[in-house]
Amino acid sequence: MARIRVACQTYTWEMLGDAWQGQPTDLLDLIAAAGYEGVEITNTMIGDFAGRPAEFADELRRRELRLACFAYASPTGFTDPDRAEADLAGACEALAFVSHFPEPRLGLGGAAHPSRGNLCAKLDQAIGFYNQIGRLGAQQGVSVNVHPHSHFGSLLESADEYAYLLDRLNPEWVSFGPDTGHIVRGGQELLACLQRHISRITHLHLKDTSADGTWQPLGQGVCDLPTVLHLLEEAGYDGWVVAEEESEAARSDGFAAICRNREYLRGLGY
């Protein structure tokens, strides 16, 4: 029987910028104490462990955690041809890191640019990159997915933009890693989006938002998360769901926020 596992994303602390002065091991302590099975960490938050995957794996084992995903993003959202070489080098480093872990998964950030001019050309640049990394990942046994967002500069928000992306990603190399909150903030109907692309989803972020796009703790916004999880169960989904918290409450007390989210998901049976 399919079993959905619950992980925690480290963006709760990454969004604090320089106000966060802790270490990756501090994040692991907090996430383990909150009762999660796994962690999704980013290229920004991995710190000195980036070149030491075996040591990071040891730290996970000490806390009985699994690496659910390693998330790699670029400052230019993979849309700048002049940045392509640097983006490729960073992604190859990320693949090399994550390949050391069981069920290795690399999540690539969504296409972004401050301007929506020449939108298709920018999306095509990013999609070419995603397919390239997906092919390299397949050669190394690493699953690769794309994670669209709704932050400033996102070029992947509407239903048509999601369809443009998925129609052009090679399904043998690259899957879909959507985010419930970003789908809603991008103006889509959440369940319709997930149902449309359910066969491509291999990784899912759970976030909640109010109708006006303000981040909320899980269960306190407009995202119908119980129905989302039921939809995954019905589809036989056996991957990770990753709780991610960006609300103002999380800025003041990240640990309390992730504990609250974990209890909410336990209340739903996960």
Q: 226-250, pLDDT tens digit by residue? A: 999 999 999 999 999 999 999 999 9
Question: Which contiguous run of DSSP H or E holds residue 170?
Answer: none
The band of 1, judged by pLDDT with boundaries at 50, 70 and 90, is very low
What is the count of structural domains for the chain? Answer: 1
The pLDDT score that the predictor gives to residue 3 is 86
What's residue 2's pLDDT? Answer: 57
pLDDT at 145 over 60: yes
Bridge-based pairing of strands 215-216 and 208-209 is antiparallel
DSSP 262: H
pLDDT, residue 46, reads 98
- Collapsing DSSP states into helix, strand and coil, what is residue 42? strand
Q: What is the pLDDT averaged over residues 73-82?
A: 95
Phi and psi at residue 113, to the nearest 5°: -165, 145
Q: Which residues contact 139 (CB under 8 A, 6 or more apart)?
A: none
pLDDT at 238: 92
Instruction: Give the amino acid at 13.
Output: W
Task: Check residue 226 and give its pLDDT.
Answer: 98
pLDDT one-digit tens code per residue, 29-57:
999 999 999 999 999 999 999 999 999 99
Read off the pLDDT band of 82 (50, 70, 90).
Answer: very high
Pick from 65, 61, 87: nearest CA to 76: 87
Compute the average pLDDT of residues 262-267: 98
Average pLDDT, the chain: 97
Q: Residue 31 is part of a domain; what is its CATH number?
A: 3.20.20.150
Q: Residue 262 is part of which domain span?
A: 5-267
**Which amino acid belongs to residue 245?**
E
**Residues with Cβ within 8 Å of residue 63, at least 6 apart in sequence:** 28, 29, 31, 32
pLDDT given for residue 137 in this prediction: 98
pLDDT surpasses 50 at 138: yes
pLDDT above 50 for 186: yes
Structure tokens at 231: 């939809």
